[in-house]
Structure 1
Amino acid sequence: MEYKNIPLIILLIMSMLSIQSGASIAKNLFTIIGVQGTTMMRLFIASIIFTIIFKPWNSYYSIIKNWFLIMGYGISIGAMNLLFYMSLKILPLCISVSIEFIGPLSLALFSSKRLIDFVWVFIVIISIIILIPLKLLFHKKNIIGIFYGLGSGFFWALYIIFGKKATAKLDKKNILSIGIIIAFLFSLPFGLINSWKKLLSFKILYYACIISIFSTVIPYTIELIAINKLPIVTFGTLTSLEPVVAAISGLIFLHEKLSIIQGIALFAIILASIGSTLTIETN
């Protein structure tokens, strides 16, 4: 293991804590402005913050030259967030995150060349299967939520791929700020169609700012730093801690409880993430 990666791993865990806390708060906003409106407002405020801080127009030539990567990165963020919130509206936070995680987990699996990586990924796969109660499969509404989660996971994998390629060619700050603007524009029609009459109250703006800071500004800044410095396998497997963090956030903020078996599955995910961290391949 490279000890220089330890700060990145700590930052990545902080990112997970931040984004899942924000997701817990966001779920309470769904009943007021809907999933689409919550997604749009979160990305709208984040795009303003990043634009003011990073001033992306200073590197317009590089942005235009690499427009495909940035468009892919931004659309992936927008679609990932919208589909995740649609899943979260139907399913418990921990379950939604577990299903969504299949995306980066699959990416880690396909990117791996070492046997030990397959071991950690296999443990996480089994644990995620245990986490998802079979009774969810007997209701049509829950199945729709599962498909939303799988779709979000697909775009999460694309977010990692486009983010890694883009950071190799462009300044991280410009990628992030333009990417969030594109994500906001992607979510804009969905939000306006469903919630435009309810978006301008002070209460909505207050909660949207909190959600945006915790679920977008902090975690995406951290992840963009880590995504280009950690191997895809390591990054993908470490994010398997997301369901664990989601379970804690769901318990604290939403009073969502898990069974003993599900708790054991979460513990197995923690062990796999620790194992992945300790066996990072030295370059």
Structure 2
Amino acid sequence: MNPSAARASVVSDSSSVAWPLGCLLASLLSQYVGAASAKGLFPLVGAEGVTALRVSIAAVILMAVWRPWRTWPGRRALPDLIAYGAMLGLMNLCIYQAMARIPIGVAIAIEVTGPLAVALFGSRRPRDVLWVVLAVAGLLPLLPVRGATGLDPVGMVWAAAAAACWALYIVFGKRASALPGGQAAAWGMLVATTFTLPLGVAQAGSALLAPGVLLTGLAVAVLSSAAPYSLEMVALRRLPRHVFGLLVSASPAVAALVGFFMLGERLSALQWAAIACVVGASAGSALGAPAPAATATRADNR
């Protein structure tokens, strides 16, 4: 190959990688800017109301953008889509309940241990023991033993529930992501709406229709659901699993930084160290994952 052709090939490869990388980074930032915006609504409509707004508005947007009804999913895909949507809705509800009580960065650090456990489950590689130990080392300082951390125990429980939902989201999200385009995200969000919207109405009632609440809810839906889930579907089809997982492993750190700059959430040095341990465990697991892997949702290592 002549030098010009070689340079052209390098540029082409760089461009093909830059686009999905940019999509994934934009997804991470958008996700947690949306989460920080959502916290401003908690005093007005509660975590249930914010979840209802986020999920239902995102469902409308995704259905309008992707128009998934043009190609209906087969009967065999329905159970996976329903389970995927159910876990999506529950995960959002649980993490908002956690964020209402503890800092965003801490909540996400706990939440990511769910998919990390799935990634490491059943592994026979000795080095994966290191990532388990590192993750546990990160979680131990966060435990509210005798109130030493100053964290709300109920918020910690909700974050742990979100971790469990995210772990299950992986299982069904891998199968659902086989659908073309953003169909999985659209159908999944619609399923999630079927139970999160009634819960939100029961909690907040007509307050959900206040103009200011609706406007903020729209921003949260776009930033936290419609944009990130669509961007991830683009990225995960073009990035190797280990690269995808490595970038997503930074989620707790990104969330903590957004919480600091937007909400003034100041974490202690011990909490930052705990987040670093969880990020390190997730990154190590992602880098050590086998090269040939099927496409999956962000929950591969989220």
User: TM-score with structure 2 length normalisation?
Assistant: 0.80
1:245 counterpart = 2:254: yes
Distance 1:176 1:126 in 2: 34
Q: Secondary structure at the match of 1:256?
A: coil
Which of 40, 44, 48 is equivalent to 1:36? 48
Letter of the 1:252 partner, please give it: F
CA contact (8 A) 1:117 1:276 kept: yes
CA contact (8 A) 1:121 1:237 kept: no
Distance 1:126 1:10 in 2: 31
Q: Secondary structure at the match of 1:90?
A: coil
Which of 59, 65, 68 is equivalent to 1:47? 59
Residue aligning to 1:208: 217
Which of 17, 41, 57 is equivalent to 2:29? 17
Distance 1:230 1:120 in 2: 23
Change (3 A) 1:121 1:225: farther
Cα shift at 1:201:
1.8
Residue aligning to 1:191: 200
Change (3 A) 1:83 1:159: same
Q: Within 5 Å, give how 1:25-104 maps onto structure 2.
A: 25-60=37-72, 62-104=73-115
CA contact (8 A) 2:113 2:278 kept: no
Segment of structure 1 superposing worse, 143-152 or 234-243: 234-243
Segment of structure 1 superposing worse, 107-116 or 5-14: 5-14
Q: Within 5 Å, give how 1:114-263 maps onto structure 2.
A: 114-132=125-143, 134=145, 136=147, 142-168=152-178, 170-227=179-236, 238-263=247-272
Letter of the 2:102 partner, please give it: L
Q: Secondary structure at the match of 1:258?
A: coil
1:108 counterpart = 2:119: yes
Structure whose CA Rg is larger: 2
Segment of structure 1 superposing worse, 201-210 or 228-237: 228-237
Distance 1:153 1:232 in 2: 20
Cα shift at 1:123:
2.1
CA displacement, residues 136-167 of structure 1 (integer Å, 9 cap, x when unaligned): 4799x922222211111111111121111122
Residue aligning to 2:7: none
Distance 1:228 1:23 in 2: 25
Distance 1:116 1:128 in 2: 19
Distance 2:128 2:22 in 1: 20
Give ranges in structure 2 of 5+ residues lacking alignment.
Answer: 1-13, 293-302
Distance 2:168 2:114 in 1: 9
Query: Aligned Cα RMSD in Å?
Result: 3.0
CA contact (8 A) 2:245 2:286 kept: no
Distance 2:134 2:198 in 1: 40
Give ranges in structure 1 of 5+ residues lacking alignment.
Answer: none
Cα shift at 1:213:
1.0
Distance 1:222 1:105 in 2: 21
Distance 1:138 1:259 in 2: 9
Cα shift at 1:282:
3.2
CA displacement, residues 1-45 of structure 1 (integer Å, 9 cap, x when unaligned): xx9877655543432221111111101111111111111111111
Distance 1:52 1:33 in 2: 26
Distance 2:154 2:95 in 1: 12
- Matched pairs, number: 279
CA displacement, residues 109-144 of structure 1 (integer Å, 9 cap, x when unaligned): 1164534444334323322333455454799x9222
User: TM-score with structure 1 length normalisation?
Assistant: 0.85
